[in-house]
Amino acid sequence: MRHLDIAVVGGGLLGSAFAYGLSSHGVQVGLIDEGDNAIRTARGNFGLVWVQGKGRGMPEYARWTLASARAWADFSAQLGEETGTATGYHQPGGFFVAISKDEFNHNLKLLEQLRKEAGADGYEYEVVENPALREHLPGIGPEVPGATYCPHDGHANPLQLLRALQEGFERNGGSYIPRSHISEIRPLAVGGFEIFSGDRLVTGCEKLVIAAGHGGADLGRQLGMDIPIHPVQGQVVVTERSPAHLAYPTNYVRKTDEGYFMLGPSARDTGFDLETETTTLRDIVRQCSKAFPYLRELRIQRSWAALRIMTPDGFPVYAQSRDFPGAFSFSCHSGVTLAALHAREVPQWVLAGEIPSAHRCFGLERFDVSA
């Protein structure tokens, strides 16, 4: 049986970012992946590296998001140099588009509150009303009252990012352990853990990171961490290729390097139901076409649904077991935006064996549950 310094359970964007970052520190790291039969939350990722609108009620999250967005350019360049795989990252800034006057006023109040809570340092945005908005977003709909622009926003290709992280992990000497649905984690009396898939012992390890998406709740409970997460279904629509130009990502629409438009995303409480729903798809197309009427001329190429991770307050969970301090559980729904810090800063916590006090606001205590 292999015995690792650190095992990461979960091969999605979160787990791969943690594993990549940890493997760059000369420790033996294993990335345990269930495979394509897992509930892949990353499938519903819109690909935005996004600051605007995030963190109301928790200024630490607004600052955390901004810090990751600022680190993304260097992070993406490093990944590309190490692996030869481009993440598709672009940072022209992004527009937070409103398709009604009420939405526009709501967005302005939200951003002003965030700036007051998080502090003005770096949390900047510019209000651009229609028709001036057309200079930046040609083809914007006449009913759009305006948008806000943030220079820190951008977008990337989630699948290319995942590929680059896993390639970087393996180049660093990490061990990829596929086709392993983890059902049990046994703490050892002498320290460390044994990890099982059914009756099969997958590996042993000194430290453990649970980044298993929706499976993380059950695994966390085995180690005294009650992670309050639930699924939220998100649907995404992709059009045919188009020569139409969209230089900036927006909250409703972004254009990929391949020439497709991605529309969405939605948010719907469906439990663990992954079926797309016609009414929701129509709402996505209607809203996005109101923002950009030229989209009505394009054919829909494909659509799909995925189940995102959501906590009661919408913010990440970065938790450490009190009973077994070598075990950590990390959950969030912003795997692309936060990838830079998940690969660079969070691994330092695991190596040090402690979550810094400045980031304990993301712990379980805020839910008044066992940690």
Domain boundaries, the chain: 3-48+159-228+313-367, 94-151, 230-310
Q: Which of 20, 1, 65, 12 is nearest to 36 (CA)?
A: 12
Q: What is the pLDDT of residue 269?
A: 81
Q: Are 266 and 287 in contact (CB under 8 A)?
A: no
CA distance linking residue 80 with residue 78, whole number of Å? 5
Q: What is the pLDDT of residue 260?
A: 97
CA distance linking residue 262 with residue 239, whole number of Å? 7
Q: What is the pLDDT of residue 371?
A: 43
pLDDT tens, 260-286? 999 987 788 877 877 878 899 999 999
Q: Which fold has domain 230-310?
A: D-Amino Acid Oxidase; Chain A, domain 2 (3.30.9)
**φ/ψ of residue 178, rounded to 5:** -90, 175
Q: What is the pLDDT of residue 370?
A: 46
pLDDT tens, 317-328? 999 999 999 999
- DSSP string covering 140-189, please? --TT--EEEEETT-EE--HHHHHHHHHHHHHHTT-EEE-S----EEEE-T
Question: Low-confidence residues of the chain, pLDDT below 70?
Answer: 1, 36-44, 120-122, 369-371
Q: What is the CATH number of domain 3-48+159-228+313-367?
A: 3.50.50.60
